[in-house]
């Protein structure tokens, strides 16, 4: 199984892939960008975190940067997917609220949109259009793809909003607006020595309130979120560079060798050396910028 590298640059952080999934050909993985999956043909399953979703043609799946996932199917079956990958940063300067489907615990626990729903059909149409544009790369394709992606994110936000009561929505939106600057701060400083108190001071809240906001909105505490950011950076360095494993933890922000190995094994289920040597042969979906 080959490993295909994907370059999601900062100016145009969007790409696509078409995948034919057969039984047990992909390992569980995660990556430092958002994934939208659209089932074109066939049947199978999509495992995201600890949930298993049956896959049918037309189904849409939303997977954020912290959710381990794997697509699979029966030995005698297959399913074809179109995947759109992008960095949420493409939405940060326009309407940060559109990031809620990828950051808010209230939203991202619902990873599947069933194919018979009109919202799934509309998103599928937009994804197919993005896929064609990204493959053909005709004049203006970047503008087309960005526009279609924004429409997709608007539809996702409105769909997930419809699943919440007015009170749940107001609480979620207010909390997200408070925590969003903290997420930006961590993204800029996660390779440095930072503590909950630093993040709390940045958003002018107490450490206790900041911690509870993380649990409420993201689903992880500050420390867990920070460790995941650092492990993802370590994965990127292990795949995208040849620097010694002993240096990877320094560049990914871990305070020492022991915490790096412990955290990496807990999240990735293998040692950094095992990951570097095996991922190229087993993780077709593990794409890094």
Residue 237's CATH number? 1.10.10.60
Say yes or no: 158 and 170 in one domain: no
Expressed as residue numbers, the domain containing 253 is 225-282
Say yes or no: 144 and 57 in one domain: yes
3 in a structural domain: no
Domains: count for the chain: 3
Say yes or no: 120 and 208 in one domain: no
287 in a structural domain: no
Last residue of a domain, one of 162, 185, 208: 162
Say yes or no: 25 and 157 in one domain: yes
Say yes or no: 22 and 141 in one domain: yes
pLDDT confidence of 99, banded at 50, 70, 90?
confident
5 in a structural domain: no
pLDDT in tens, 168-225: 888 888 888 899 899 889 989 999 999 999 999 999 999 999 999 998 888 889 999 9
Q: What is the mean pLDDT of the chain?
A: 86
Residues 6+ apart with CB under 8 A from 220: 66, 214, 228
Say yes or no: 27 and 121 in one domain: yes
Query: Which of 14, 70, 16, 66 shows the shortest CA–CA distance to 283?
Result: 70
- Calculate mean pLDDT across residues 86-113: 78
What letter would DSSP give residue 117?
A: S
Say yes or no: 174 and 274 in one domain: no
Rounded distance between C-alpha atoms, residue 251 and residue 5, angstroms: 21
> Alpha-carbon dihedral of residues 277, 283, 285, 289, nearest 10 degrees?
0
288 in a structural domain: no
132 in a structural domain: yes
**pLDDT computed for residue 10 by the predictor:** 64
Rounded distance between C-alpha atoms, residue 216 and residue 172, angstroms: 9
Q: What is the pTM of this model?
A: 0.78
Say yes or no: 178 and 198 in one domain: yes
Distances 68 to 76, 107, 177, 232 between C-alpha atoms, Å: 25, 16, 26, 11
Say yes or no: 118 and 245 in one domain: no
Q: Give the 3-state DSSP-derived string for 205-240, with helices as H, strands as E and coil as C.
A: CCHHHHHHHHHHHHCCCHHHHHHHHHHHHHHHHHHH
Q: Are 223 and 196 in contact (CB under 8 A)?
A: yes
What letter would DSSP give residue 29?
A: B
């Amino acid at each position: 199984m080959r490993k295909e590298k994907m370059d999601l640059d900062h100016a145009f952080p969007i790409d696509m892939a078409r995948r034919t999934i057969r039984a047990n050909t992909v390992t569980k993985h995660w990556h430092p960008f958002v994934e939208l999956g659209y089932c074109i043909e066939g049947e199978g399953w999509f495992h995201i975190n600890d949930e298993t979703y049956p896959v049918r043609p037309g189904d849409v799946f939303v997977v954020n940067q912290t959710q381990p996932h794997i697509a699979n199917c029966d030995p005698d079956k297959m399913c074809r997917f179109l995947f759109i990958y992008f960095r949420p940063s493409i939405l940060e300067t326009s309407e940060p609220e559109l990031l809620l489907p990828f950051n808010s615990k209230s939203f991202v626990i619902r990873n599947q949109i069933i194919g018979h729903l009109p919202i799934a059909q509309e998103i599928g149409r937009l994804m197919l259009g993005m896929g064609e544009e990204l493959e053909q790369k005709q004049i203006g394709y970047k503008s087309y793809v960005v526009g279609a992606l924004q429409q997709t994110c608007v539809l996702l936000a409105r769909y997930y909003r419809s699943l919440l009561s007015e009170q749940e929505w107001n609480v979620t939106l207010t909390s997200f607006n408070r925590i969003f600057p903290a997420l930006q701060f961590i993204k800029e400083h996660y390779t440095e020595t930072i503590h909950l108190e630093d993040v709390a001071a940045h958003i002018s809240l107490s450490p206790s309130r900041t911690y509870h906001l993380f649990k409420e909105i993201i689903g992880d505490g500050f420390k867990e979120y920070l460790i995941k950011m650092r492990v993802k950076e370590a994965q990127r360095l292990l795949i995208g560079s040849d620097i010694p494993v002993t240096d990877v933890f320094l560049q990914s922000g871990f305070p020492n060798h022991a915490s790096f190995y412990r955290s990496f094994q807990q999240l990735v289920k293998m040692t950094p050396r095992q990951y570097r040597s095996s991922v190229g042969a087993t993780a077709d979906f593990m794409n890094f910028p």
